[in-house]
Each structure stands twice: as C-alpha cells, then as structure tokens.
A and B are shown apart, each in its own frame.
Chain A
Amino acid sequence: MAKNLVEVNNVKKYFPIHKGLLNRVVGNVKAVDDVSLTIREGETFGLVGESGCGKSTLGRVILRLQSATEGSVKINGRDVHSLSNRDLNKMREEMQIIFQDPFGSLNPRFLVKDVIGEPLKIHTKMSAKEIDERVVELMKMVGLDPTRRNRYPHEFSGGQRQRIGIARAIALKPKFIVADEAVSALDVSVQSQVINLLMRLQKEMGLTFLFIAHGLNVVRHISDRVGVMYLGKMVEVGETESLYASPLHPYTAALLSAIPLPSPTKKRNRIVLQGDVPSPANPPSGCRFHTRCPFAQEKCSQVEPKLVEVLPGREVACHFPIGVEGGSDLSKLQ
C-alpha cells in the first residue's frame, strides 16, 4: 500500500467572535473541530459537505495558509505547523492550492506568463529565459496556446483561466495540491476538460490531491476516497464506490439522495432534512447531526460518536450507522 503523504491529527480551527467596544472574545466559530485524516501518496481524497461546514478552512490549515488552533499536520513526515519560516518556504514548493474562482484569483495586472512564472521567480534561481521556456512547456501541458503568454488573464475564457491557475500550481512540480472548488464555476463541457487535465497530470506527475467540491458526481469521478464533513466534524470516510453505493452516515445518505439525476424518468428517494442548520459557534451536544437526523435516538444528543472503522476501509462517526447490525434502516424512511 502507498505510504501516507498527508497526516492530519486532531486539527481544530476556531475563529474568535468579537463583540462590543472592547472587542472582547465572546465565543468561537468552531470551523474545524478535531478532525483527523490521512491522504496516501498518489491518491485523490475528495472532501464534501454542506456549505460552511469547514472544508476550505481545513484545506488552508493543512497548507498552513492559516494557523491551527490545535493539532498537527504532517506532510511527507514533516510537521508543517512547526517549521521555521525558511523551511516552510522550501516546503511551499511541494504543496500548492488551486482556487475556485478563475476570475478573482489571478492578478489582473500580470501577464499570463508572469502569473504562471511567478512561483519560479520566487522559489528558483532560473534565468528569465529559462523561466520563459518553462512557461511555454507548462502552457502546452495544460492545453493552452503558449503564443498567448503575453496577454492578460481577462482575455481568456473561464475554463482557460482555470488552466492558467493549474499551470501556475504545477510550475514547481509539487507533490501535493489542494483543489478548492477548482471546477465548480465551470459549465459541464468545460468542466470535463479540466477534470481530464487534472487526472492526466496526476498520472504523469504522481500528484496527490485534496479535492474539495460540492459537485458530488465530479467528486465521485475523480476521488479514490471521500471524506464527508458536517459542522466542523468529519462524519464519514470511505473508499469512493462503496461510500456512494451504501453510505453509512445518515447525513451522507441525505446528501447523496439530493443529487439531481440527469434523467427525467428516474427519481431518487430523497431524504429531506428537517430543521435548521445549527450555528458552528454553538453546535448541538452529542452528535452534531442529531437535530436533523431522521434516525436520532436518545443517546445521540448525549454522547458524541467517534469516527471508527466499522467495515473494512469504511469509517463513520455515528452510533447507529445505516445497514450495520444494530444500526439504522434506510427503508424505514420511505
């Protein structure tokens, strides 16, 4: 089995809530609350969950674009959050991020060749000519016409701009890339081009991806394993196909049942979630999903379920996982 490239242990990220004239801290938004996960070398780990559940925050903390409140992140055996600035800079070459917004995340005053070449300028001692040659090579790799490198990003379409962001992210031959909603803003025909590109680059360069997205079909297509978050917690982790075919956590089941099918004749039995989405500043006791879970029992509001392996390659944080002996029964809902 491939070795673990990324090891996240009990990471918490709290954002203080300030109030009043004295700016006193009156509470915390628990954006990520005690999350552990491992990503194997060369795999794509998909991360899904409701808007605001902490996916982007987790991605940023893993790359130390934000500090962690607690916990540790190891990449390639090194503790990212205790590196000196110099070592961190060195490490930055190995890990990159691709953002959602192909429009906002590129500096509009930079020519495309400068956008792509910037990391080379910062992190290497390459000459201007060498950088230019590498930019041409990178643009070819991502399917962009290198003769257009002296243009500005706004002269490119959405899909092309996303490719510019990808070319920049792979410029330093990183090992690990966090793709945060990297294809979400693109329409299907452009989206499929960019997904193919990411998968091809992964094969060619041996890349490891943390792929954050709300497009569940896209996540299924690209990911080897998938993690599901709810209100700052990882509630389920599993091998992609079996997780999609038979979700263990009631929230995963609800999420998957909400995907619209591209067929007018087939309809899914949708699990409609009741109740409000709770605030991450004041999460419910016990299992955080108990206020909306159709299977909640008394224990759920009292005892917090831990993420444990209940089937080979399948972890879940639920007292009564679906389809497991003594667990919940989906067919009782319909």
Chain B
Amino acid sequence: MAEKLLEVRNLTTGFLTEKGFVKATDRISINIEKGKTLCLVGESGSGKSVTSLSIMRLIDYAGGVILEGNINFKGQDLAAKKQEELKEIRGNQISMIFQDPMSALNPVFTVGEQIAESLRLHQNKNKDEAWKEAVELLRMVGIPSPEIRAKQYPNQLSGGMCQRVVIAIALAAKPELLIADEPTTALDVTVQAQILELLQDLKEKLGTSILLITHDMGVAAEMADHIAVMYAGAIVEQGTVEEIFANPSHPYTVGLLQSIPGFEGERGGELYTIKGTIPGLGNLPQGCRFNPRCPHVMDKCRQVEPGDIQIGAEHKTKCWLYEDQAKVAAAGKGEHIHG
C-alpha cells in the first residue's frame, strides 16, 4: 500500500442560509497517496470547490463550517487545528490554485513581484534570487517573454496568462500537496496541454500529490490515478482511473461519460443527457440523492440512502443496483474515527 499523504474522513461542511443550516458536502471520504493525483469530477454545484476549501480550511473565511470529519495530513488533523497553526502549512506544504484566477491576484503589484514575494516568504530567497526564479517560473508555465511580463500588472495580461501566473505562485512553494480547482477550464487546448504536462512533470520530479478538480473527463483520464465522482454533496463513486473508465457503475457516472461528444465516430446526432437538474442545497430528495434523475430508480431508492458498496479492489459506489455485490456494508460503519 502506498503512503497516504492526505486522508479525509466523513467531511461534512455546511452553510447557514435562509433555509437554515444546509450541508454542501456530506460525509466525504477520500485518500491521496504520495506522488499521486486524485481527480474530483462532477456537475456544477456538486460541492467540489467547497471540498477543496474545506481541506485548506479556507472555508472558515467563506462562511462555511466543518460539522464533522477529519482531515489527516501527514498525521495531523487539519480539521482540529487553529487558523494560526494552519498558516504554516498553507502555501508551504499545501498550496492551491483557485477557480477564479483574477481574484487571487493583487491588482496593485506586478505579477513578478507577487511570485517573488511568495518565494521570499516560503523559501527565504533574497530579492535578486527571488526575482530571477519568478521569471523562470513564468517561463515554466509557458508565458512568452517572461522578463517583460514579470514587470506587468494583472490587468495587462489576458485571463489565460493570469491563470498561469496563479499556477506559478502555487508552484513557487514546491508544495507536497497541490490543490488545483479547474486550473485549465479558461484556457485553450494547446495551453491546457502545456499546463497539464507541467503538473505531470512536477508530480514525477518532486513527488507532489495533486487534488485536481475538473469537469472535463478527458483531463481526468489523462491526469488521474484515482477518480472521485461527486453529486449533490456526496462522493457517489470512486476508484482507480482504469476502474472508473472501464467499468463506470453509478448511473450518474455512466450518464456523465455518455454526455460527452466524441472525437471519432458518428456526429450530429442527439447527445445523451441526464434529465432534470441537480437539487439545490437543502432540497435533497429522500433516499438516494440521484433518484429523481436516475433511469434505473427502484422503490427502495426513494426511501433509503445507499452507502458505499465495494465493487472492485479500490472501487466503491453508492447505488442499490450493486447491493448483491456488496462486500462491505454502508459507509461510516467501523471506520468512524471521529472523536
């Protein structure tokens, strides 16, 4: 068994809204091994960003509260730590690339200064060294003429370039865990290919572990060692990348894979769609959370929520269709390390 860097157990995060307290993530459990990539995929609004912000404990600043669960990072429970203690870990051992690059940059400093600042903070580099390395990092993330760009302000760069600057800042710390929330969604495919290659490189050369959030199954196929599929706040299926693509089991995962227009084969026909829309927070149906949209729904699904059912070596799914294959019963049982 590979060494685990991050072990999240039963993580439940909620927000106080006009409807009262609602859960945005519901007993999430994921593992990330050293030097491996876990991709978190799922529909918009399913809770992917909330999960990553919770792991970083930045959710505290977004009005969210961790209600339950542990976040074990190298033997320490981040969920139980104070914010001051976390500052040491954040940006040093764990860094994050945010979904919205513009808001992560400071408009009054040049991008070079912002990267250099991060290098000075985390690696005790002097001013000249830091500047040189900042320019190098910009080159690494594929920014043309980095010497010139380093002296420019965020509003002088295109959206795609700003995203690459944000990536450069996250890499500056040489983190053990990199959390990247849709890092390439705003970029065109040739630039995306460059960034993905860069992340792969990082993983191979420095042994960095990556939590990659994406809704592009192509990106997930290329990058992931493991995949976790999220729907309406819960991980409904997880497994190795091979298991998920060769043998998708949860009807939501199957629908997601079927909805993608292909590169080869027939075109112009009607694309598969998952009917309906994701339920809003606090509006979860009784039983299986996917049941109003599921083509295989059974009576039981409307009443009782399925737990994790082990269907392969590392492959788990939350769906009653696999009840007979169940080797291990409902999630949470026996592994409730919460104290």
Using a CB–CB cutoff of 8 Å, the interface residues on chain A facing chain B are: 49-52, 157-160, 186-193, 195-196, 199, 214, 216-218, 220-222, 240-241, 244, 254-255, 258-265, 267, 270, 272-273, 276-277
Contacts and interface: CB of A to CB of B under 8 A. Distances in A.
A188 B274 CA distance: 10
Contacts of B277: 157, 159-160, 190
B191 A276 contact: no
A163 to B, nearest CB: 11
A196 B270 contact: yes
A260 B218 contact: yes
B192 interface: yes
Given A158-B44, A220-B267, A221-B268, A192 B221 contact: no
Given A51-B187, A260-B196, A264-B221, A244 B263 contact: yes
Contact of A188 (B45, B217, B224, B270): B217
A158 B46 CA distance: 13
28 contacts: A50-B191, A51-B187, A52-B158, A188-B216, A189-B43, A190-B43, A190-B44, A192-B259, A192-B271, A192-B272, A192-B273, A195-B261, A196-B270, A221-B261, A255-B190, A258-B189, A259-B189, A259-B263, A260-B222, A261-B222, A261-B263, A262-B220, A262-B257, A264-B224, A264-B242, A265-B245, A270-B193, A276-B144
B271 A258 contact: no
- Which of B190, B216, B257 lies at the interface centre, i.e. has the most chain A CB atoms within 10 A of its CB? B190
B58 interface: no
B207 interface: no
Contacts, number: 123
Contacts of B196: 260
A279 to B, nearest CB: 9
Given A214-B189, A221-B262, A265-B242, 11 more contacts: A159-B277, A189-B273, A189-B274, A192-B260, A199-B270, A217-B260, A220-B263, A240-B267, A259-B218, A260-B193, A261-B218
B188 A51 contact: yes
A240 B197 CA distance: 28
Contacts of B256: 188-189
B145 interface: yes
Contact of B268 (A199, A217, A261): A199
B190 A262 contact: no
B191 A191 contact: no
A258 B272 contact: no
B45 A260 contact: no
Interface string B247-270: 000000001110111110001101
- Which of B160, B217, B267, B278 lies at the interface centre, i.e. has the most chain A CB atoms within 10 A of its CB? B267
B215 A188 contact: yes
B219 interface: yes
A51 to B, nearest CB: 5
Contacts of A267: 222
A190 B260 CA distance: 11
B31 to A, nearest CB: 19
A273 B241 CA distance: 28
Given A51-B160, A187-B43, A261-B222, A192 B261 contact: yes
Contacts of A277: 144
- Which of B44, B194, B242 lies at the interface centre, i.e. has the most chain A CB atoms within 10 A of its CB? B44
A158 B194 CA distance: 29
Given A254-B190, A258-B192, A262-B217, A217 B145 contact: no
Given A193-B273, A255-B189, A262-B221, A222 B43 contact: no
Contacts of A222: 268
Contacts of B145: 276
Nearest to B275: A193
